[in-house]
A and B are shown apart, each in its own frame.
Chain A
Amino acid sequence: DAGVIQSPRHEVTEMGQEVTLRCKPISGHDYLFWYRQTMMRGLELLIYFNNNVPIDDSGMPEDRFSAKMPNASFSTLKIQPSEPRDSAVYFCASSLKRIYEQYFGPGTRLTVT
């Protein structure tokens, strides 16, 4: 079975540009999570969805960040405009029923110059 799929795997962009990260959860999973990992702050939950509905977005750092889940098999995390401090690895994860047993994607390494 395919795991969580994220694209792109690497993204380099200039400050001020819009960045869109994509995630395809494991088929049938009803929870989807977006995390950010940095050396300074570790692994942080940004937002999560249940059955395509955002449940907790308290981790979204500011209005420049937005996330959508238009259907059960696709989610996006958008940063506009991007800033150098947004440089991090962004992970998507999904789970089935058990919210804590999460399956992580390989991540997208974002570099904003």
Chain B
Amino acid sequence: GENVEQHPSTLSVQEGDSAVIKCTYSDSASNYFPWYKQELGKGPQLIIDIRSNVGEKKDQRIAVTLNKTAKHFSLHITETQPEDSAVYFCAASPFSGGYNKLIFGAGTRLAVHP
């Protein structure tokens, strides 16, 4: 089945710096790659997603890149702010099960220090 690996597990940056989180996936037929942000005590919420026919997508300070050949995708946060501190999860939607599954990475705890 699909396996999603996420690195690093923790990331500490100074306010204003950039943060990069990387994920790899195993099922080459996976076609949808969302990123979720989870704040303390809450359920995860989608922040950005990318589909397999797109290489890069931006939304203000957040961008995601996808390299299908290498089977990896990354989240880039620029000009980080303290409110960006949270746990971030990547996920992939594999072909097995008709793309109905959503398999998550282990998460990255991001701390942005003022």
- Co-complex (A, B): no
**Footprint of A on B, CB under 8 Å?**
none
